[in-house]
Amino acid sequence: MSSILRHTLGALAGLLLTAALHAQGSLAPAAAPAPTQRTLEEIWNLAAQLEANNAALRAENFQQRRLLAQLVSTRLAWRIETVRRFSGDLFSGEAFAHTALAFAPGGQPVVAYQNVAAGAALELSRPAGDTWQPTSACSAQQVGRYTSLAIAPDGRPAIACYDSAEQDLIFTRQVGEFSWDWVRVDTAGDVGQHASLAFGPDGQPAIAYYDATNADLKLARFNGSQWQTETVAATGGVGSFARLTFFEGLPAIACHDATLSEFAFFRFDGSAWQREYIQSATAPVRGLSLALNRSGQATVVYSEMDGASLKLGTRSAAGSWSAASTGSGSGLAPSHAFGPDGQLAIAYRHYTTGALCYFRNGSGFQTVDANPANGFDYCSLAFRPDGFPAIAYYDKNAGSVKYAYRGIILAE
């Protein structure tokens, strides 16, 4: 019962009680006034108000039931939009690569990728009406491999990537509507593969990456005036599939160690880097994703060449890691995140069918895009501000960068 209805009924009951006391003569208080025509009018007015309120409540209830019926008649579905299309000869190789997805503060999706067909240029696209508007994010050529996209504290996108021509680590950030500033962060040898960008609590960017010349894992951080680089691990063969996050306010990196055939987690404790063992990885690795869950625990999802199943590794408060199958089935190139309800979600390429799939803990997996087999690469999963998932990926059969998002789609 609404508060308006309760107050109306209360007032009506009070007036009825007063009228009854008046009618009882000697039982009424000595100071009580005699019944008047105005008192009866008030009673009738309140009765009319009550009836109007009841009519409004009935109309509101009808509207709620209608909306509920409409929702029941709808289904949660995936919509797919083309971000960038290549119309040339696909047999010459892939047209795009290394897609990455993020959401601007206003909720607008932005997708970064390497435009291989245009000389391996780095581009970023965002919706503009019914289409997507691409813009160049770096004037250098042969950049964009291992694209890592993040939104800076000022709300503008920033990208770390690898320059395959000069073998340098590149950082670029948007400074105007169509203008970008970019810099070569590290040029000492062949550096910058497997770049992973994140912004620290101080609002400054940091990049984890692989030093192919020395086979080491490295980290670059901007201190407000210049970039500083350091070697995180120098065991040789460590650093591929590097993924950076800030764990308890300090940088932490998950990666693959090819020499020791394992996944490792490197955590800076404020004075030194500490190494933690995650899981053995004897087969060639086909993907690694790092994210913090709602409790702040570090988690990884990874895939090996056999694609038997995607594995989830979770770090305990004591620093030990446990690994288990995600239940998603076979998959490659995973990207995972946690929804508003805290449940694990994974986007990945199905190992046998090549379809783009989405798995949600407790809900199983579903096919998002089922183009011909082996057609999808470079998945990037993120949750929209409304709580629904979205995926950026490259459909190499269509020669297109695509954006898939899930929501309530009205039935035809």
Q: Note the maximum CA span of the chain.
A: 107
Q: What is the pLDDT of residues 198-251, one digit of tens each?
A: 999 999 999 999 999 999 999 999 999 999 999 999 988 999 999 999 999 999
- The structural domains of the chain, with segments of one domain joined by +, span 3-72, 78-409
The CA distance from 38 to 47, in Å, is 14
Helices (H) and strands (E) in the chain, counts: 2, 28
CA-nearest of 71, 66, 97, 73 to 84 is 97
**Are 205 and 224 contacting, i.e. CB atoms less than 8 angstroms apart?**
no
Q: What is the pLDDT of residues 137-151, one digit of tens each?
A: 998 889 999 999 999
pLDDT band at 4 (very low <50, low <70, confident <90, very high): very low
The pLDDT value given to residue 303: 86
The CA distance from 375 to 77, in Å, is 21
* Confidence check: pLDDT of 66 > 60: no
**Are 300 and 244 contacting, i.e. CB atoms less than 8 angstroms apart?**
no
For residue 280, give both structure tokens: 């053995």
Give the domain 78-409 fold. Neuraminidase (2.120.10)
* Confidence check: pLDDT of 32 > 60: no
pLDDT band at 77 (very low <50, low <70, confident <90, very high): confident
Q: Which long-range contacts (C-beta less than 8 Å, at least 24 apart) are formed by 127-133? A: 132/81, 132/82, 132/83, 132/84, 132/403
Q: What is the DSSP string of 109-138?
A: EEEEEEEGGGTSEEEEEEEETTEEEEEES-
The CA distance from 390 to 374, in Å, is 21
Higher pLDDT, 284 or 179: 179
> Lowest-confidence range among 31-45, 77-91, 169-183, 324-338?
31-45
The pLDDT value given to residue 61: 74
Q: What is the pLDDT of residues 186-201, one digit of tens each?
A: 999 999 999 999 999 9
The pLDDT value given to residue 3: 46
The pLDDT value given to residue 373: 56
User: Residue 378: left if φ>0, alpha if ψ -120 to 50, beta else—which one?
Assistant: left
